[in-house]
């Protein structure tokens, strides 16, 4: 009798185990991973914010269609977007809403340094990991924060790259500028960049001939252009968002202001495809652009993964991948890498995984650098950009020299207006 009862109990237990095993995949599958994305979807930086948003969407859709996060049972990434309007107070309040009401486990954003700086403080307070997209203000990763990670350049890197390119061209052609002018928007980004240029310029023996900031969304630059004309800098470094850069370039072109060793713009508006649609081609010919991604990535021996994500991205808008889109792609793939290693949606586990990141391949590197590894402040010390020059209507990499495509020769100094 006893043996029969034991046998029956065993059979029931075995059947239960069999049923549980069949249900295991469903039981182990996590719910969607909610990810907050704060960007300027309206306002002065809207064209840029929407491109970053579409890059993030393309990456998340691709990840989800290819099985989601394997370590979380195939969990899908659910992006929850919020519009900062390029306003610090709105950006900060939206981050609080995403964390407190939407329950996101990580935040990506927010492009504008003036928004990212205070908004990431909110995330730090709530111990929520933040992956920086776009914002370069140095202090974002200089506050001893534990939850803020920036895979791309900070402002000092941008400034150094611009001056390195100027010095390289000076050595290559045997002539170069002695004086530099600064023209920049007066929020955190522009001020941070100008401060770094002034420090580095002094170390390298350049004289600052003009130091001119302006309030964003200015409707006329006539007064500033008169200052540029009167101070006559040999080279001019510009930091401007898209609408301002469009107006500035138009007015410089209308007045035929010659800057002998060129206008050197630090990304921003000059990386935006919308800028090139709005400005006459001659207005930006010979301009130098500090690019936050390798501008020839899709034409010079392209990575098949990049080609695939570009095709997906183009379906969401009218442009090819660019700096802003690649920031969205890279941030989402960086998060995916961290989630796979964390195997958890716990914020502390995600933070620890981000801190231990060491990526040397894949779409987390969509912007074009070769490695992501964060220092103790959350800055990727392997981040870098390139410098391009617009030649015959094409932006072509000219710095570093080893990144130039065969046959590319910079124009230095730039031609007189009468020779263009």
275, containing H or E segment: helix 273-278
Two domains, one topology: 33-153+298-365 and 156-291+385-419: yes
Give me 238's structure tokens.
Answer: 């510009």
HSE-CB at 174 with a 13 A cutoff on CA atoms is 0
Q: What is the pLDDT of residue 12?
A: 36
In angstroms, what CA-CA distances link 130 with 80, 118, 155, 260, 397?
14, 12, 18, 42, 31
How does strand 394-399 pair with strand 386-391?
antiparallel
* Residue 140 and residue 156 in contact, taking contact as beta carbons nearer than 8 Å: no
Extract the tokens encoding 227: 């200052």
Per domain, the residue ranges of the chain are: 33-153+298-365, 156-291+385-419
Both tokens assigned to 251: 């007015």
Helix (H) or strand (E) segment spanning residue 117? helix 113-125
Looking at residue 101, what is its pLDDT? 98
**Secondary structure of residue 312 in the 3-state scheme:** helix
> Burial code of 170-201, b = ≥16 C-beta within 10 A, e = fewer?
eeeeeebbebbbbbbbbbbbbbbbbbbbbebb
Task: Return all residues near 291 (Cβ < 8 A) that are at least 6 apart.
Answer: 267, 271, 323, 385, 386, 387, 388, 395, 397
Assess contact for 364 and 151: CB atoms under 8 A.
yes
Are the CB atoms for 138 and 152 separated by under 8 Å? no
Query: Which residues have C-beta within 8 Å of that of residue 62, sequence separation ≥ 6?
Result: 308, 309, 312
Domain 33-153+298-365: give its CATH architecture. 3-Layer(aba) Sandwich (3.40)
Instruction: List the alpha helices (DSSP H) in 174-232.
Output: 188-203, 222-231
Ramachandran category for residue 59: left, alpha or beta (phi over 0 → left; psi -120 to 50 → alpha): alpha
Give the residue ranges of the chain where pLDDT is below 70. Answer: 1-30
pLDDT of residue 226: 97
* CA angle (72, 74, 79) in 5-degree steps: 90
Chain-centroid distance of CA 269 in Å reads: 13
313: enclosing H helix or E strand: helix 304-314
Question: Would you mind telling me the total number of residues written for the chain in this entry?
Answer: 420
Q: For the domain bounded by 156-291+385-419, which CATH number is listed?
A: 3.40.50.2300
Interatomic CA distance for residues 383 and 235, integer angstroms: 26
What is the C-alpha separation between 47 and 395, in angstroms, rounded? 20
User: Are 92 and 122 a contacting pair, CB within 8 Å?
Assistant: yes
3-state helix, strand, coil in the chain (%, to 5): 50, 15, 35
Are the C-beta atoms of residues 208 and 159 closer than 8 Å to each other?
no
Is residue 53 within 8 A of residue 324, CB to CB? The reply is no
pLDDT at 216: 86
Cα 379 to chain centroid, rounded? 13
Which residues fall within 8 angstroms of residue 123, CB to CB, at 6 or more apart?
95, 99, 107, 129, 130, 147, 148
Structure confidence at residue 30 (pLDDT): 59
β-pair type (288-291, 179-185)? unpaired
Report the alpha-carbon distance of residue 107 to residue 81 in Å, rounded.
10
* The Cα angle at residue 45 between residues 42 and 48, in degrees rounded to 5: 100
């Amino acid at each position: 009798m006893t043996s029969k009862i034991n046998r029956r109990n065993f059979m029931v237990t075995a059947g239960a185990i069999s049923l549980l095993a069949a249900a295991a995949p469903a039981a182990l599958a996590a719910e969607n991973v909610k990810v907050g994305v704060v960007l300027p979807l309206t306002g002065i930086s809207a064209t840029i914010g929407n491109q970053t948003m579409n890059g993030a969407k393309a990456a998340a859709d691709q990840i989800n269609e290819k099985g989601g996060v394997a370590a979380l049972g195939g969990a899908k990434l659910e992006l929850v977007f919020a519009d900062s309007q390029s306003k610090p107070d709105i950006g900060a309040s939206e981050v609080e809403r995403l964390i407190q009401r939407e329950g996101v486990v990580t935040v990506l954003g927010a492009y504008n340094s003036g928004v990212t700086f205070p908004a990431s403080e909110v995330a730090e307070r709530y111990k929520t990991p933040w992956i920086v997209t776009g914002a370069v203000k140095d202090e974002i990763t200089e506050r001893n924060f534990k939850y803020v990670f920036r895979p791309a350049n900070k402002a000092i890197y941008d400034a150094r790259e611009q001056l390195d390119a100027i010095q390289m061209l000076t050595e290559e052609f045997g002539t170069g500028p002695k004086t530099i002018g600064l023209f920049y928007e007066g929020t955190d980004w522009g001020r941070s960049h100008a401060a770094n240029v002034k420090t580095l310029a002094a170390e390298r023996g350049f004289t600052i001939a003009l130091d001119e900031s302006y309030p964003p969304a200015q409707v006329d630059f006539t007064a500033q252009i008169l200052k540029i004309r009167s101070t006559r800098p040999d080279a001019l470094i510009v930091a401007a968002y898209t609408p301002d850069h469009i107006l500035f370039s138009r007015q410089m072109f209308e007045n035929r202001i010659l800057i002998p060793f060129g206008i050197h713009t630090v990304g921003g508006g000059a990386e935006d495809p919308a800028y090139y649609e709005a400005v006459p081609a001659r207005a930006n010919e010979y301009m130098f652009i500090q690019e936050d991604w390798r501008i020839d990535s899709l034409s010079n021996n392209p990575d098949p993964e990049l080609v695939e994500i570009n095709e997906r991205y183009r379906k969401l808008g009218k442009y090819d991948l660019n700096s802003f889109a690649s920031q969205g792609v890279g941030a989402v793939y960086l998060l995916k890498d961290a989630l796979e290693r964390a195997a958890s949606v716990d914020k502390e586990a995600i933070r620890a995984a981000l801190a231990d990141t060491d990526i040397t391949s894949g779409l987390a590197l969509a912007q074009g650098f070769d490695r992501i590894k964060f220092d103790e402040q959350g800055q990727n010390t392997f981040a870098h950009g390139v410098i391009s020059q617009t030649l015959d209507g094409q932006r072509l990499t000219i710095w570093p020299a080893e990144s130039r495509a065969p046959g590319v020769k910079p124009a230095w100094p730039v031609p007189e207006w009468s020779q263009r």
